Chain A
């Protein structure tokens, strides 16, 4: 089943580390303004998959990609594509929060400034807006000059989200964004993801199936580099089509 209106889509995606296949003929459509979750046991290829979406694997030596990856229907691997600009359109939030060693304000402003936005008023406006979007503003508005490392793990992660939002992406990729933070902070980020999809397309890799169930509209289940099942999250978690999917989500293996 494919989403009616895919913002991003892979067709026949194969990925190799040297000669080892890590992804085999993956067809996944990520619907616009929806959350698509990628789940699967360790080593199934889900992080590899999400890193192909913004071509982060390009910087890894010895890797090879085959197949098509489309953003708004256009192949992102076309030679003419400006990779830097393209990575602005597709933001990424990683497992371990990675704020820059700068102030809270400068973390968010960084992307804007290197993209040429110098107007102080505009930068301030965007920093406030994205910190609000990331549900962090109220907690940091009186200490924007503090170093980002004085924030808690959950706050740092929301700062990274604000930083990603500042350059006005269209898609946001989350690679296990809550693995390193506590349950309350996790709940806040899940709530945030729920709100973000109104304006952005979200793809989230998670090893926490319950999180995928709570947060996503569509779920893709990968195993050993293959797509076992893809469909609306409600269907996957109530009546999955594949026994392998059922065994995985009920915890019989994994």
Chain B
């Protein structure tokens, strides 16, 4: 039986998709502003953050409304709570994109420190994780979500590499410190974006399977010792 509630669930999904689209664009444009050394693109990212924040508020309000008025259970409940969490991760990704854009503005005003290799690679990986995490949500594909979680280590590894390489620059010549720090912070923002994409993947798995795989959890464990519930 079709419920009036179903229309509202569709609206919730639609809003999340729209927000995800804005966030994916923000990340791409922030990194592009760095690669192409274009101030205008960086400023656009900063300007568009307001729209992302409005979606955050609207999605939260709709989710609250659905919980209060419809007492959802089972799959519906997992969907709505996952949507709220995914929204929160998207909002943080948006903030990180702005951080990248701000650091980029700083770097554009100074000469290029070194050719960018690892950072664009990190960006490529992070962007594809975000894209796949959202696709996993839309299509309800837990396996795709799992593949996103598995790619996080690769991004962490590159982040460490970027850090070590820039450290050597700063040790050789203190004049490079401001630019090196900006780059390290940009790499860190990308690493955080990948972490948030991983979170989204975990929420999707919970939504589809009711399984919590956060924090490397495999067997059921609880604060009071092993769970008594069959797992």
Chain B residue at minimal CB-CB distance from A233 = B69
> Chain A, 206-232, contact with B by CB distance < 8 Å: what is the 0/1 string?
000010011000000000000000000
CB atoms of B69 and A214 under 8 A apart: yes
Please give, as numbers and ranges, the residues of chain B lying within 8 Å of A237 by CB-CB distance.
68-69
Please give, as numbers and ranges, the residues of chain B lying within 8 Å of A213 by CB-CB distance.
68-71
> Chain B, 1-45, contact with A by CB distance < 8 Å: what is the 0/1 string?
101110000000000000000000000000000000000000000
A238's partner among B1, B3, B65, B71 (CB-CB below 8 A) is B65
Distance in angstroms between the alpha carbons of A214 and B66 in the assembled complex: 9
Q: CB of B54 within 8 A of chain A?
A: no
- Which of B3, B4, B69, B70: most chain A Cβ within 10 A? B69
Distance in angstroms between the alpha carbons of A237 and B70 in the assembled complex: 10
Distance in angstroms between the alpha carbons of A191 and B68 in the assembled complex: 18
Chain A residue at minimal CB-CB distance from B4 = A194
Known: A234-B65, A238-B64, A238-B65. A187 touches B1 (CB 8 A): yes
B1's partner among A188, A210, A214, A234 (CB-CB below 8 A) is A188
A191's partner among B3, B69, B70, B71 (CB-CB below 8 A) is B3
CB atoms of B1 and A191 under 8 A apart: yes
Please give, as numbers and ranges, the residues of chain A lying within 8 Å of B70 by CB-CB distance.
213-214
Distance in angstroms between the alpha carbons of A210 and B69 in the assembled complex: 7
Distance in angstroms between the alpha carbons of A214 and B6 in the assembled complex: 12
Interface residues on B, range: 10 to 19
Please give, as numbers and ranges, the residues of chain B lying within 8 Å of A188 by CB-CB distance.
1
User: Total A-B pairs in contact (CB under 8 Å)?
Assistant: 25
Chain A residue at minimal CB-CB distance from B64 = A238
* B6, chain A: closest CB distance, angstroms: 11
Known: A234-B65, A238-B64, A238-B65. A210 touches B3 (CB 8 A): no
Please give, as numbers and ranges, the residues of chain A lying within 8 Å of B4 by CB-CB distance.
191, 194
CB atoms of B69 and A234 under 8 A apart: yes
* A204, chain B: closest CB distance, angstroms: 15
* B230, chain A: closest CB distance, angstroms: 29
Distance in angstroms between the alpha carbons of A194 and B1 in the assembled complex: 14
* A146, chain B: closest CB distance, angstroms: 25
Distance in angstroms between the alpha carbons of A180 and B132 in the assembled complex: 49
Distance in angstroms between the alpha carbons of A237 and B64 in the assembled complex: 10
Please give, as numbers and ranges, the residues of chain A lying within 8 Å of B69 by CB-CB distance.
213-214, 233-234, 237
Please give, as numbers and ranges, the residues of chain A lying within 8 Å of B68 by CB-CB distance.
213, 234, 237-238
Distance in angstroms between the alpha carbons of A237 and B68 in the assembled complex: 6
Distance in angstroms between the alpha carbons of A238 and B68 in the assembled complex: 6
* A212, chain B: closest CB distance, angstroms: 9
* B40, chain A: closest CB distance, angstroms: 42
Distance in angstroms between the alpha carbons of A62 and B107 in the assembled complex: 86
> Chain B, 183-213, contact with A by CB distance < 8 Å: what is the 0/1 string?
0000000000000000000000000000000
CB atoms of A210 and B71 under 8 A apart: yes
* B43, chain A: closest CB distance, angstroms: 38
Please give, as numbers and ranges, the residues of chain B lying within 8 Å of A210 by CB-CB distance.
71
> Chain B, 42-79, contact with A by CB distance < 8 Å: what is the 0/1 string?
00000000000000000000001100111100000000
Please give, as numbers and ranges, the residues of chain A lying within 8 Å of B71 by CB-CB distance.
210, 213-214
> Chain B, 92-135, contact with A by CB distance < 8 Å: what is the 0/1 string?
00000000000000000000000000000000000000000000
> Can you pick out 20 interface pairs between chain A and chain B where the beta carbons lie within 8 Å of each other?
A187-B1, A188-B1, A191-B1, A210-B71, A213-B68, A213-B69, A213-B70, A213-B71, A214-B5, A214-B69, A214-B70, A214-B71, A233-B69, A234-B65, A234-B68, A234-B69, A237-B69, A238-B64, A238-B65, A238-B68
Interface contacts beyond A194-B4, A213-B71: sample of 13 additional A-B pairs, CB < 8 Å, sorted by A: A187-B1, A187-B3, A188-B1, A191-B1, A191-B3, A213-B70, A214-B69, A214-B70, A234-B65, A234-B68, A238-B64, A238-B65, A238-B68
List the interface of chain A (C-beta within 8 A of B). Answer: 187-188, 191, 194, 210, 213-214, 233-234, 237-238
